[in-house]
Structure 1
Amino acid sequence: MTLLLILGVVLVVVALVLLATALAPAESATSGVARSLAAIQAISIAPKELRDELDRPFAERVLEPLQARALKVGRRLTGADSAERIRRKLDFAGNPRDWSVDRVVSGKVIGALALAAVGLAFSLLLGVGLPMKILMVAGGLVAGFFAPDLYLYQKTYDRTERMQRELADAIDLMTISVESGLGFDAALQQVARNTEGPLAEEFSRVLREMQIGQGRAAALRALGDRTNVDDLKGFVGAMVQADSFGIPIGQVLRVQSGEMRVKRRQRAEHKAQQVPVKITVPLIFCILPCLFIAVMGPAVISIMENMG
Structure 2
Amino acid sequence: MPITTILLFAATFAIVFGAVWVAMSVMRPSTVQRRLGQIQREIPGAVPQDDNREWLRQIERLARPLAQLSLPKEGWENSALRTRFIHAGWRAPEAIPFYFGVKTLLAAGLPMILWPALVGRFDASQHSEFMTLLFGSAVIGFYLPNFVLRFKVKRRQRDIFESFPDSLDLIMVCVEAGLGLDAAILRVVEEMRTARPAMAEEYELLTLELRAGLPREKALRNLAARTGVEDVSMLVAMLIQADRFGTSVADSLRVHSDMLRTKRHMLAEERAAKIGTKILFPLIFCIFPSLFVVLLGPAAIQVITALRSVTAN
TM-score range, shorter chain: 0.7 to 0.9
Instruction: For 1:112 and 1:261, locate their aligned partners in 2 and report how far apart those are by CA, in whole Å.
Output: 45
TM-score (normalised: structure 2): 0.73
Q: Corresponding residue for 1:169?
A: 166
Q: Which amino acid letter does the alignment assign opposite residue 169 of structure 2? A: D
Instruction: For 2:60 and 2:255, locate their aligned partners in 1 and report how far apart those are by CA, in whole Å.
Output: 53
Render the CA deviation track for 1:5-31: whole Å, top value 9, x for unaligned.
xxxxxxxxxxxxxxxxxxxxxxxxxxx
Q: Corresponding residue for 1:59?
A: 26
List gaps (5 residues or longer) in structure 1.
Answer: 1-53
Deviation at 1:280, TM superposition (A): 1.4
Tell me the SS of whatever aligns to 1:269: helix
Instruction: For 2:176 and 2:284, locate their aligned partners in 1 and report how far apart those are by CA, in whole Å.
Output: 54
Instruction: For 2:106 and 2:289, locate their aligned partners in 1 and report how far apart those are by CA, in whole Å.
Output: 42
Q: Percent identity?
A: 29
Does residue 70 in structure 1 map to residue 66 in structure 2? yes
Render the CA deviation track for 1:132-154: whole Å, top value 9, x for unaligned.
53343223211211122122111
Does residue 115 in structure 1 map to residue 131 in structure 2? no
Q: Corresponding residue for 1:260?
A: 260
Q: Which amino acid letter does the alignment assign opposite residue 215 of structure 1? A: P
Q: Corresponding residue for 1:103?
A: 98
Render the CA deviation track for 1:181-214: whole Å, top value 9, x for unaligned.
1110011011111003211110000000111110
Asked if the contact 1:120/1:136 (under 8 Å) is kept, the reply is: no
**Count of residues in correspondence between the two structures:** 252
Tell me the SS of whatever aligns to 2:178: coil
Does residue 186 in structure 1 map to residue 186 in structure 2? no
Q: Corresponding residue for 2:269?
A: 269
TM-score (normalised: structure 1): 0.74
Q: Which amino acid letter does the alignment assign opposite residue 307 of structure 2? A: M
Render the CA deviation track for 1:13-62: whole Å, top value 9, x for unaligned.
xxxxxxxxxxxxxxxxxxxxxxxxxxxxxxxxxxxxxxxxx798343699
Instruction: For 2:60 and 2:272, locate their aligned partners in 1 and report how far apart those are by CA, in whole Å.
Output: 50
Q: Corresponding residue for 1:43?
A: none
- The 5-angstrom pairing of residues 280-295 of structure 1 reads 280-295=280-295
Q: Corresponding residue for 1:211?
A: 211
Asked if the contact 2:60/2:97 (under 8 Å) is kept, the reply is: no
Taking structure 1 as reference, are residues 288 and 197 closer, same or farther at Cα in structure 2, changes over 3 Å only? same
Q: Judging by fraction of residues, say which structure has more helix.
A: 1
- The 5-angstrom pairing of residues 5-44 of structure 1 reads none
Taking structure 1 as reference, are residues 97 and 295 closer, same or farther at Cα in structure 2, changes over 3 Å only? farther
Instruction: For 2:208 and 2:130, locate their aligned partners in 1 and report how far apart those are by CA, in whole Å.
Output: 54
Instruction: For 2:113 and 2:156, locate their aligned partners in 1 and report how far apart those are by CA, in whole Å.
Output: 31
Q: Corresponding residue for 1:229?
A: 229
Deviation at 1:162, TM superposition (A): 0.8
Deviation at 1:286, TM superposition (A): 0.7
Render the CA deviation track for 1:191-239: whole Å, top value 9, x for unaligned.
1110032111100000001111101111000011112211111111111
**Match among 148, 152, 160 for residue 151 of structure 1:** 148
Deviation at 1:96, TM superposition (A): 5.7
Instruction: For 1:92 and 1:249, locate their aligned partners in 2 and report how far apart those are by CA, in whole Å.
Output: 27
Query: What RMSD, in angstroms, separates the aligned Cα atoms of the two structures?
Result: 2.5
Asked if the contact 2:64/2:98 (under 8 Å) is kept, the reply is: no
Q: Corresponding residue for 2:38?
A: none
Taking structure 1 as reference, are residues 254 and 100 closer, same or farther at Cα in structure 2, changes over 3 Å only? same
Taking structure 1 as reference, are residues 63 and 192 closer, same or farther at Cα in structure 2, changes over 3 Å only? closer
**Match among 71, 74, 87 for residue 80 of structure 1:** 74
Q: Which amino acid letter does the alignment assign opposite residue 148 of structure 2? A: Y
Deviation at 1:103, TM superposition (A): 3.5
Asked if the contact 1:159/1:198 (under 8 Å) is kept, the reply is: yes
Asked if the contact 1:90/1:96 (under 8 Å) is kept, the reply is: yes
Please identify, of 161-170 and 103-112, the stretch whose mean Cα deviation from structure 2 is larger. Answer: 103-112
Tell me the SS of whatever aligns to 1:181: coil
Asked if the contact 2:59/2:98 (under 8 Å) is kept, the reply is: no
The structure having more radius of gyration, on CA atoms, is 1
Taking structure 1 as reference, are residues 98 and 118 closer, same or farther at Cα in structure 2, changes over 3 Å only? farther
Deviation at 1:172, TM superposition (A): 0.5
Q: Corresponding residue for 1:279?
A: 279
Taking structure 1 as reference, are residues 281 and 122 closer, same or farther at Cα in structure 2, changes over 3 Å only? farther
Q: Which amino acid letter does the alignment assign opposite residue 143 of structure 1? A: I
List gaps (5 residues or longer) in structure 2.
Answer: 1-20, 29-57, 309-313
Q: Which amino acid letter does the alignment assign opposite residue 109 of structure 1? A: T
Asked if the contact 1:86/1:101 (under 8 Å) is kept, the reply is: no
